[in-house]
Amino acid sequence: MKVYTDDDANPALLREGTVAVIGYGSQGRAHALNLKDSGCRVVVGARPGGAGDRRAREDGLETAPVREAAEAGDVVALLTPDMSHEALFRDEVAPALKAGNALSFAHGFSILYGRVTPPEDVDVIMVAPKGPGDLVRREYQRGRGVPCLIAVHQDATGQAKERALSYASLIGGAAAGAIETTFREETETDLFGEQAVLCGGATELVLAGFETLTEAGYAPEVAYYECLHELKLIVDLLYEGGLAKMHEFISETAKYGDLVSGPRVINEETRQRMREVLKDIQSGAFAHDWIVENQAGKVRYQKLLDADLDHPIEHIGRALRARMAWLKAGANTKDD
């Protein structure tokens, strides 16, 4: 698999026109500011007088209502939350698109599951940084970048891939390496990672460990430290150097426990559940469920979220974290 760098990109391709960034949340802000600092003309599409509009103006960016911004853009980056795409695209973005424009996404959900159907005469591309917007911005400011995935769903102009690479380079992604993928691969692996490992899997493992210790009579404060607090130490080692670095920096006792007990917890039954999660994603069942849940007002979603946030580990954690000075705003935030 080829990893593209700035040497493979032609930043001038996008500097010749205007990029309309629709939405000014985490990714929208990072993309807009990085593009502007890279020499692009950027117009942020946001609700006039709304929080995104105000913040973009404070950041020195040009803003306009969504349709006006889309009309001005040669590249239109749709960076609002997934569930807003269908109505926003239908009512504001689609009527403004012109032949030869490029429509860009940071996630493939809306294209893969048919929430957005672009006209045939525009390029449809994806540039998906593998990190939150705040990190995308900070790494760019440091002269570095966050790796990203690029993909082409529709090549109407013959330059779709070149446009994706140019965009990736201008936001700093090619400096760290841009890998070509497809909308389907990015969406399905992203959803699976969130559900089975990064969010759903990790948090359920933490809660199960906490409950196992407290049910056995151990102090909840001690259980919190062992099952949640110290997780960051391990994740940082894995992030920095994979399994090898983790094994290098943990004790021999921890390593042995890892090797003999890890497979008892994450076993073939767990893997089968993961396959079921992946099947629901691949079949579209998860997307359908999430779309219907939004249409119904997210009642079930809110009930599940409230229960999660009311877990005893949250109450214990708030009290313990209040004593951790390094977590307070402004602490240990000095740039490299």
Minimal CA–CA distance to 160: which of 117, 96, 106, 100? Answer: 100
Residues 6+ apart with CB under 8 A from 146: 129, 130, 131, 135, 136, 139, 172, 173, 176
> Model-level pTM greater than 0.85?
yes
pLDDT at 330: 47
Q: What is the distance between the alpha carbons of residues 165 and 125, in angstroms, rounded to a whole number? A: 10
pLDDT at 333: 38
**Which entry of 31, 85, 107, 153 is annotated as an active-site residue?**
107
Q: What is the distance between the alpha carbons of residues 268 and 108, in angstroms, rounded to a whole number? A: 30
Query: Which residues participate in the annotated binding site for substrate?
Result: 251
pLDDT at 329: 60
Residues 6+ apart with CB under 8 A from 264: none
Query: Which residues participate in the annotated binding site for NADP(+)?
Result: 24-27, 47, 133
Query: Which residues participate in the annotated binding site?
Result: 24-27, 47, 133, 190, 194, 226, 230, 251
Task: Assign domain 3-181 to its CATH architecture.
Answer: 3-Layer(aba) Sandwich (3.40)
Contact 40, 98 (CB under 8 A): no
- Residue ranges, CATH 3.40.50.720, the chain: 3-181
Query: Which residues participate in the annotated binding site for Mg(2+)?
Result: 190, 194, 226, 230
Q: What residue ranges of the chain have pLDDT lower than 50? A: 330-336
Q: Is 153 a catalytic residue?
A: no
User: How is 223-283 classified by DSSP, letter by letter?
Assistant: HHIIIIITHHHHHHHHHHHHHHHHHHHS-HHHHHHHHHHHHHHS-HHHHHHHHHHHHHHHH
Q: What is the distance between the alpha carbons of residues 123 and 75, in angstroms, rounded to a whole number? A: 9
pLDDT at 336: 31
